[in-house]
Amino acid sequence: MTQSKVLILDFGGQYNQLIARRVRESKVYCEIKPYNISIEDIEEFNPSAIILSGGPASVYNEGAPRCSEEIFSGRWPVLGICYGMQLMVHYLGGEVKRASHREYGTISMTVTNHEGLFKDISAETEVLMSHSDFIPQVPADFQITAYSDNTPTAAIENHSKKLYGIQFHPEVILTVEGKEIINNFLFTICNLTADWTMDSFIETTVAQIKAQIGDRKAVCGLSGGVDSAVAALLVHKAIGPNLTCIFVDHGLLRKNEAQEVMEAFEGKLGLNVIKIDAQEQFLSKLKGITEPEEKRKIIGNEFVRIFEQGAAKYGQGEYLVQGTLYPDVVESGTDTATTIKTHHNVGGLPEDMTFELCEPLRNLFKDEVRIVGSKLGLPQHLVSRQPFPGPGLAIRIMGEITEEKLEILRDADAIVREEIINYDKDKKVWQFFAVLPGAYSVGVMGDDRTYQQVVAVRAVGSEDGMTATWSRLPYELLDKISKRLVNEVDGVNRVVYDITSKPPGTIEWE
């Protein structure tokens, strides 16, 4: 039986990741591809259904993103969301125009047809609208199935060709029955099977790795984080002792981290793990470098050079296994998404690298990886370990990296983490750490003037790192952290708390 697969075409909407998450939560596999994917590539992907995302453009403008018109021929069931619906209307002979009022926020929508997309949906249902264009004229053979005060065509369909369009965003939780509407598309309309489970992922992935690597050898970059640990376990399941894991101490790790990682992994879980000390190599390459993207690229480069040395010494690995996740790929920039930051393991790889990559988690979100980790027997404290970026403290020190700044940051970070771990017993805070913004301030300590570094405390809540909200930590906790930082860390005389969410900020400062 072939697996149900949904293709999501990306027109640049803010919530595209959420569309994919919702579909996968319903246990249907999906991938996001750029809007201009060719029909041949679509045929190769062989989707059971296609979803068109929203996007900032207007279809009637020159240069607006367009997909192949063949998508609307009836060969595949299609759900167009916002821009996606407007494009469908534009292609099939309807009309799209700028509305006199922009509509952004939740509204009450009236459903007029309760078959198909709106099966068992309330007659009046709350949905999120985010648009300034509307559809005064639907194409021939289309019916309007929902409307609101402001939007006469909130949903349309051509039932016989299985073409559906909705103006609202079903993927956000603000659309109260959004999940049910997506499920109606997947299961009532497209008859898909809910066959995407982490058990099936493990089974098919291990088989794919066996086919890819065969009896050749591989090295895995093991960081101690959940992603690379899970990648290593999957590859180990497939090729056994032909896998060597390399943990690199690049001098940018947190306090005691190298020791803790080796204690957790050396001789455990059946993995063969070695540590390579490369502090000097990294720090000398980073000397004098202040630009964040430059730092990231240098680090990505050095990682690979170390893996090559390790492979030569310990097993001539032809493959490099990395714990790359879907968000790493998307945030590093794709055809449709701009580069926010080059993740060292994606855009930061050197061009002359000879390894072939094996990245079994490349299409997964973090929470999916954690489920896979639990199923593979990874201990719970490693499954729930908070993310730590591969470039380490280098991207938490603004400006040039020096031994002195690293030492200050390690001590500060250890205090921030200790205090928040003690307070946050039920693990509501997703990630927390200290940052050295590179600012100096004047203070008074013991009646003397000081001129020292500022430490910023960062703590956020998140599901998958794609969006994040700054954590509302209690004042008492912030007060305790501030006092400890200034009293216990030499060279620090001021503490600030970062109250920026993502977007518009990012979690890390660089």
Ligand X SMILES: NC(=O)CC[C@H](N)C(=O)O
Ligand Y SMILES: O=c1[nH]c(=O)c2[nH+]cn([C@@H]3O[C@H](COP(=O)(O)O)[C@@H](O)[C@H]3O)c2[nH]1
- Residue ranges binding ligand Y (CB under 6 A): 296, 331, 341, 343-344, 387, 389-391, 431, 465, 502, 506-508
Residue 127 in tokens = 């949905």
Q: Which is nearer to Mg ion, 92 or 231 (CB)?
A: 231
Cβ atoms of residues 235 and 213 within 8 Å? yes
Nearest-angstrom CA–CA distance, 16 and 26: 16
Q: Which amino acid is at 55?
A: G
Q: Is 228 annotated as a binding residue?
A: yes
Q: Does 35 bind ligand X (CB under 6 A)?
A: no
> Which of 30, 67, 90, 169 is flagged as catalytic?
169
41 marked ligand binding residue: no
166 binds ligand X (CB under 6 A): no
Q: How far is it, in rounded angstroms, from Cα 30 to Cα 7?
A: 6
Is 49 assigned to a binding site?
Answer: no
Find out whether 249 and 221 touch, Cβ atoms under 8 Å: no
Q: How far apart are CA 334 and CA 96, in angstroms?
A: 28
| Cβ distance to ligand Y smaller for residue 52 or 304 | 304
Which of ligand Y, ligand X, Mg ion, none binds 249 (CB below 5-8 Å, type-dependent)? Answer: none
From the CB of residue 394, how many other CB atoms can be counted at a distance below 10 Å? 24
Whether 367 has a binding-site annotation, put simply, is: no
Return the number of the residue (167 or 301) whose C-beta is nearest ligand X.
167
Which of 18, 19, 24, 55 is the binder for ligand X (CB under 6 A)?
55
Residue nearest to ligand X (CB): 54
Query: 462: annotated binding-site residue?
Result: no
Binding site for ligand ATP (CB under 6 A): 221-223, 225-228, 246-248, 250, 322-323, 328, 345, 387-390
Active-site residue, selected from the candidate residues 157, 171, 331, 419: 171
Vertex 173, ends 169 and 174: CA angle to 5°?
Answer: 70
Measured CA to CA, the distance from residue 496 to residue 494 in angstroms comes to: 7
Catalytic residue among 30, 67, 82, 245: 82
Token digits of residue 183: 């499920």
Phi and psi, residue 49, nearest 5°? -160, 160
- Record the tokens describing residue 298, joined without a space: 């240098």
Backbone angles phi, psi at 229, to 5 degrees: -65, -45
Q: Which of 32, 51, 52, 57 binds ligand X (CB under 6 A)?
A: 57
**Interaction pattern, residues 120-159, with ligand X; x per rule: CB under 6 A:** ----------xxxx--------------------------
Rounded Cα gap, residues 404 and 268, in angstroms: 34
Q: Which residues within the stretch 196-235 sit at the binding site for Mg ion (CB under 5 A)? A: 223, 225
CB of residue 171 to ligand Y, shortest distance in Å = 20
Exactly one of 6, 32, 82, 420 binds ligand X (CB under 6 A); that residue is: 82
Residue 132 contact among ligand X, ligand ATP, Mg ion, none, beta carbon within 5 to 8 Å by kind? ligand X
Binding flag, residue 56, ligand X (CB under 6 A): yes
**Closest to 486 (Cα-Cα) out of 432, 424, 441:** 441
Strand partners, 164: 79, 157
Q: Does 227 carry a binding-site annotation?
A: yes
Q: Which is nearer to ligand Y, 257 or 508 (CB)?
A: 508
- DSSP for 412-463 reads HHHHHHHHHHHH-TT----EEEEEB-S-EEEEEETTEEEEEEEEEEEEEEES
Phi/psi for 121 (5° steps) reads -95, 145
Asked whether residue 53 is marked as a ligand-binding residue, the answer is no
The SS3 call for residue 471 is coil
Spatial separation of the C-alpha atoms in residues 433 and 388, rounded to whole Å:
10
Active site residue 82: yes
Q: Which residues are catalytic?
A: 82, 169, 171
- Binding-site residue numbers for ATP are 223-229
Residues that bind ligand X (CB under 6 A): 13, 54-58, 82-83, 130-133
